[in-house]
Homo-oligomer: A and B are copies of this chain.
Amino acid sequence: VDITHEIPPQDIETAAFTLLAACSAFPAGTIHVGVVDPGVGSERRPILMKLGEQFFVGPDNGIFSHLLEKYERAGETAQLFHLTNEKYFRDPVSATFHGRDVFAPIAAALSLGVKPAVLGTKTTDCIRLAPLKLTSEADGADGKLTARVIHIDRFGNCVTNLTPNELNDETIAAGVTLRVNGKSVKSFRKYFAEETGSKHKLFTIWGSAGFLEIAATNDSAAKLLRARRGDVVIVEL
């Protein structure tokens, strides 16, 4: 299964979000190979993660970081292995294409029943991207949350790191304003084509990956907001 070959060059964050969004639809035992790898050939480690019952093979650069965070917060087991057993690599290994020379052969070995502990040595640390979880969750005190844009999809929808943990149905029904780059988004829709009576083009909606997204009627919210990944999203409750 080819999830995508359209991650922009070097864009580890987009790869990490895409893996996070896609993996829950795969069954136990799935072996994922994820390769966005600007550090290929350097000292960056090749790693294998066993998260719950799924396997993830790729460079240790944060590409599996959002998934690891999700499994850890859910209290599920996470095992990390530094892939060191060159016997399972292609021979020779190039300095520019470990997808072909390291990660795919390791995934093939896994699929044939070779144990992770044979493919490498256990490790506990790995490179992590900035966590998705909101760092400061202000509450009634000043009635504000500080979130951020974590992904922009090909429709221009801006995915935030707000989840139902921060914003429940009641809060949203009571009225919430999001501020991004000086613009406000006040409408909320249950689905894209919902008629809300609002004249405003921009609205928020729960996206399929479980995060609140900012979208626009027949338009790109990212363009209207001049939003880029990482932009701050202030939530006024």
Contacts and interface: CB of A to CB of B under 8 A. Distances in A.
Contacts of A191: 40-42, 95-96
Interface centre among A44, A206, A208 (most CB of B within 10 A): A208
Interface centre among A39, A101, A192 (most CB of B within 10 A): A192
Interface in A186-222: 190-194, 205-208, 218
A25 B94 CA distance: 13
B208 A100 contact: yes
Contact of A25 (B95, B100, B155, B192): B100
A84 B100 CA distance: 37
A101 B2 CA distance: 19
A208 B94 contact: yes
Contacts of A75: none
B206 A96 contact: yes
A227 to B, nearest CB: 17
Contact of A39 (B42, B101, B193): B193
A42 B218 CA distance: 16
Contacts of A182: none
Contact of A96 (B40, B42, B100, B208): B208
A95 B190 contact: yes
Contacts of A40: 191-193
A146 B154 CA distance: 37
Given A2-B2, A154-B9, A42 B208 contact: no
Given A97-B208, A206-B96, A42 B193 contact: yes
A95 B206 contact: yes
Contacts of A96: 191-192, 205-208
9 contacts: A9-B154, A41-B191, A42-B191, A44-B193, A95-B190, A95-B191, A95-B206, A96-B208, A97-B208
Given A25-B100, A39-B193, A42-B191, 17 more contacts: A9-B154, A9-B155, A10-B218, A40-B191, A40-B192, A40-B193, A41-B190, A41-B192, A41-B194, A42-B193, A42-B194, A44-B193, A94-B206, A95-B206, A96-B206, A96-B207, A100-B208
